[in-house]
Structure 1
Amino acid sequence: MRPNTVKRAWRAGERTIGAWLGTPSAHIAESMAHAGFDWLCIDMQHGVIDYNDTVEMLRGISTTDTVPFVRVPWNDPPTLMKVLDAGAYGVVIPLVNNREEAERAVWACRYP
């Protein structure tokens, strides 16, 4: 696994440039990754991108140094685990409204 350069930059207080992907296309994801963005976020919450599309898009992004993130459809532990296993370096989790929901999300993102 290559280093998460975005995480390092954010910890240092540096800016990064990224984009959101809403079209289910590995070709578009790979093309965007080759455009020089620091990060790309695949949006599974809004639109028609499903898990299989996400896997293919993550593969396309992995051909570059661009850091891949995924916004999952909801705070669902199996979905979180699967996108991380598929190659996402981080997740954006919508609809987290309290501490319990946040803790559940963190738990799902940690490997035993």
Structure 2
Amino acid sequence: MPNLPSAKAPNALKAALQAQQRQFGLWSSLCSNVVAEVLAYAGYDWIVVDTEHAPNEPADVLSQLQALATGTAEPVVRVAWNDTVLIKRLLDIGARSLLVPFVQDAEEARAAVAATRYPPQGVRGVSVSQRANRFGRVPNYLHKAHEEICVLVQLETRAALTQLEAIAAVEGIDGLFIGPSDLAADLGHLGNAAHPEVQAAIADACTRARALGKPLGILAPVEADARRYFEMGFTFVAIGSDVGILANGSTSLVARMREAVGTPLRIAV
């Protein structure tokens, strides 16, 4: 018999968050295994494969997890919703770090954790042979899987922020994540996450999370914002997105060339 590795490497993101080490992330919404493989070797600590605001289905996520498998980044799959079945399907295909959107209170946080644990600790459905356990080759997977599963929950409303301490106290929650766009909308500043009221709420959440010793993350597509959030005390920050890199980079390149040769810029809207 060939001497094949049976167990996966430890979840470096989970360990880093427990140690409060800064982690640099990137958002991926292009639903492409080729894009995922390009990003895998770029040097990020974690990469979000988004299924909430991107047309990713489990088969698409699977191909991206395979593409990311040998890179530097821990794949973090953002589930479409805090749903036991969705979470089960993603775990079975090998996701082990999950970002759960729109968690409003401790009860919803406990539900997210329970969906990642087998009975009696939770309600995850049992499959004895799937990609997550190398198709039955990982010894004692059913009893140890939770040790490498990283559960991150998004706080995206004023109400959720009032429950920050209670959510953080839920056993199995490895980190909190601010959703700046939805938070801005909930605070009455749709499309303006830079509004002082929104930024004050974010800064307050950071202070409270730090006091608890709980890692806090955020998405910051603007580089200056990402730097500021790290300086503020955020532990893990997504410093951009594949869509932003492609859109901004491609527009900037042709704009520079058209300016150089005196041809007007054309942008379809």
Alignment TM-score > 0.5, same fold = yes
What SS does structure 2 have at the residue aligned with 1:84?
helix
The match for 2:104 among 97, 100, 107 is 97
Q: Counterpart of 1:68? A: 75
Q: Counterpart of 2:66? A: 59
Q: Counterpart of 2:49? A: 42
In terms of mean alpha carbon deviation, does 13-22 or 97-106 score higher?
97-106
* Structure 1 Cα separation of the partners of residues 51 and 86 of structure 2: 10
In terms of mean alpha carbon deviation, does 17-26 or 5-14 score higher?
5-14
Please state how far the C-alpha of 1:56 moved relative to its aligned partner.
0.6
| Matched letter for residue 14 of structure 1 | Q
* Structure 1 Cα separation of the partners of residues 85 and 73 of structure 2: 25
Please state how far the C-alpha of 1:111 moved relative to its aligned partner.
2.7
* Structure 1 Cα separation of the partners of residues 18 and 83 of structure 2: 27
| Matched letter for residue 73 of structure 2 | T
Segments of 5+ residues of structure 2 without an aligned counterpart are: 1-7, 120-269
In terms of mean alpha carbon deviation, does 38-47 or 92-101 score higher?
92-101
Give the share of equivalent positions with the same residue, in percent: 38
Q: Counterpart of 1:7? A: 14
Q: Counterpart of 1:31? A: 38
In terms of mean alpha carbon deviation, does 74-83 or 91-100 score higher?
91-100
Conserved? CA contact 2:16–2:22, under 8 Å: yes
Please state how far the C-alpha of 1:82 moved relative to its aligned partner.
1.4
| Matched letter for residue 113 of structure 2 | V
In terms of mean alpha carbon deviation, does 56-65 or 94-103 score higher?
94-103
Segments of 5+ residues of structure 1 without an aligned counterpart are: none
* Structure 1 Cα separation of the partners of residues 76 and 118 of structure 2: 17
Please state how far the C-alpha of 1:38 moved relative to its aligned partner.
0.9
Q: TM-score, normalised by structure 1?
A: 0.92
What SS does structure 2 have at the residue aligned with 1:70?
strand
* Structure 2 Cα separation of the partners of residues 71 and 98 of structure 1: 18
* Structure 1 Cα separation of the partners of residues 36 and 21 of structure 2: 24
Conserved? CA contact 1:68–1:87, under 8 Å: no
What SS does structure 1 have at the residue aligned with 2:14?
helix
Are residue 16 (structure 1) and residue 23 (structure 2) matched? yes
| Matched letter for residue 56 of structure 2 | I
Q: Which has the larger radius of gyration?
A: 2
Q: TM-score, normalised by structure 2?
A: 0.40
Conserved? CA contact 2:42–2:72, under 8 Å: no
Aligned length, in residue pairs = 112
* Structure 1 Cα separation of the partners of residues 24 and 85 of structure 2: 29
Please state how far the C-alpha of 1:94 moved relative to its aligned partner.
0.9
